[in-house]
Structure 1
């Protein structure tokens, strides 16, 4: 899922029902055309994340709401104490279902799973609820096995995780965001603005970057991260900035309903 798609799912989840024109006006100010937003909405509807209430009005589905909850919980995992148990997902698809295999791997990577072997993916966190829903919706029960609470003695520190997750590359991307994006963004975000729309667009902008990194960061326990890792620190700066922007919107702002602090 693209970060803009995930962002729109989040916005719709914050409102009971949302008008297409409301999203169009919001994103046109951010440089995206109305047709582009309508195409995104059509894709999200086809994927089952949103549904039409009536013409040009959408609401979140149970699938979409579950996705938002699982993704919002992902950054909180780093603060949890790891019990040193693993969740394993093992699968085997016939060649005719290659598309479903690719979709499953993509979903697992978004959740934070890493490739242990060709068709075996692992995570230090238990994602059973999300996985069961995904498997049921896509009718994949015959093709995979999910096991939680597994011990993998050979993976106990950061020395073993580098071959499972691309931590060097992800850390480099975090540092590039800090040097290239965050420095400029913080200077813009710290300038006071009386325009709620401008403040909310900044809120969306930093949220989009957080979403982008959230799609690739596995959010591993500290003991599995290398000593040079700066992802948690940089992500913390982004979240702090996002909270400040959200808090700057007055309670009666039309955009406040899209802010969850």
Structure 2
């Protein structure tokens, strides 16, 4: 899922029921085309992530609420204890089901799975029930095997994890993000709409981190990992803006702290 789709889900979630016009008004001020926003709403509705309560009004569907909650709570994995057990997903999906296979794999990557091989994906976290649900949603449940087990000979080393999850790219991403959020903190605007735009910008960056970062156990991460530091600063700034945002604004109900 793209960051803008995740952000639209978040805004609908905190607003409980949101009119398409409100979302169009917000995003056209951010140089998005109206049709782009409406197409994203249609895509989310087709994916059964949102539902229409009446013409032009949307709320989260159960699948959308579950997905949003799951991805947001990847962040909590940084505080989890790794038990040396792995969730291993074995794929045997034919080329005739290529689209379903790719959608299923993309969903696993959103949850932080790493591709040990092209047909074996692994996670250090207990996601077996999530994988079962994703397999059903993508109609590949008969082509997927899910195992929760420890490795008999040894666990993955830091260097192996570095390769499997392509952490070199994620480190470079976080270095850029850390510079960006430090700059934003030094230049927060006072004007209401400008502050809303910064809030949404930071939200998009947080969404990117939640989707890109597998949020591995400390034992698998490189020394001096900057991911947690960067993510904490992004969330801190996001929440500070939500606290300061004018309560009389028409958009105030959509501007709330994360994990509130």
What TM-score results when the alignment is normalised by the length of structure 1? 0.92
* CA-CA distance at 1:126 after TM superposition: 1.2
Match of 1:80 in 2: 80
Distance 1:14 1:36 in 2: 21
2:158–2:222 Cα contact (<8 Å) kept: yes
- Classify the secondary structure of the residue corresponding to 2:186: helix
Displacement, 1:250? Answer: 4.8
1:241 and 2:209 matched: no
Query: Secondary structure, in 3 states, of the residue corresponding to 2:75?
Result: helix
SS at 1:69 equivalent: helix
Query: Is 2:248 the partner of 1:257?
Result: no
Question: Superposed, which structure 2 residues align to 1:75-114 within 5 Å?
Answer: 75-114=75-114
CA RMSD of the aligned region, Å? 1.8
Per-residue deviation at 1:83?
1.1
**Equivalent-residue separation in structure 2 for 1:3 and 1:105 (angstroms):** 17
- The size of the alignment, in residue pairs, is 257
- Measured against aligned partners, the alpha-carbon deviations of 1:138-165 in whole angstroms (never above 9, x if no partner) come to 2221000112243364334312212211
Shift of 1:107: 0.8
Q: Deviations over 1:181-207 (max 9, x none)?
A: 223211222x4x252x43332211101
CA–CA distance in structure 2, aligned partners of residues 149 and 207 of structure 1? 36
What is the 5 A alignment of 1:135-154?
A: 135-151=135-151, 153-154=153-154
Q: 1:149 to 1:15 in 2, by over 3 A?
A: farther
CA distance in 1, matches of 2:102, 2:191: 46
After TM superposition, the structure 1 stretch with the greater mean CA deviation from structure 2, 231-240 or 146-155, is 146-155
Structure 1 runs not aligned, ≥5 long: none
Task: Verify the 8 A CA contact 1:210 1:238 in the aligned structure 2.
Answer: yes
| Equivalent residue, structure 2, for 1:48 | 48
What is aligned with 1:171? 171
* CA distance, structure 2, for counterparts of residue 249 and residue 149 of structure 1: 47
Contact kept? 2:3, 2:204, Cα under 8 Å: yes
**Offset at residue 106 of structure 1 (A):** 0.8
> Cα offset for 1:178?
2.0
With over 3 angstroms needed to count, the CA separation of the structure-2 counterparts of 1:215 and 1:8, relative to structure 1, is same
Structure 2: which 5+ residue stretches go unaligned? Answer: none
2: distance between equivalents of 1:152 and 1:167?
25
**Equivalent in the alignment of 1:118:** 118
Structure 2 Cα separation of the partners of residues 172 and 154 of structure 1:
29
Cα distance in 2 for partners of 1:250, 1:25 equals 18
Residues 73-94 of structure 1: per-residue CA shift (max 9 Å, x gap): 0111111111111111111111
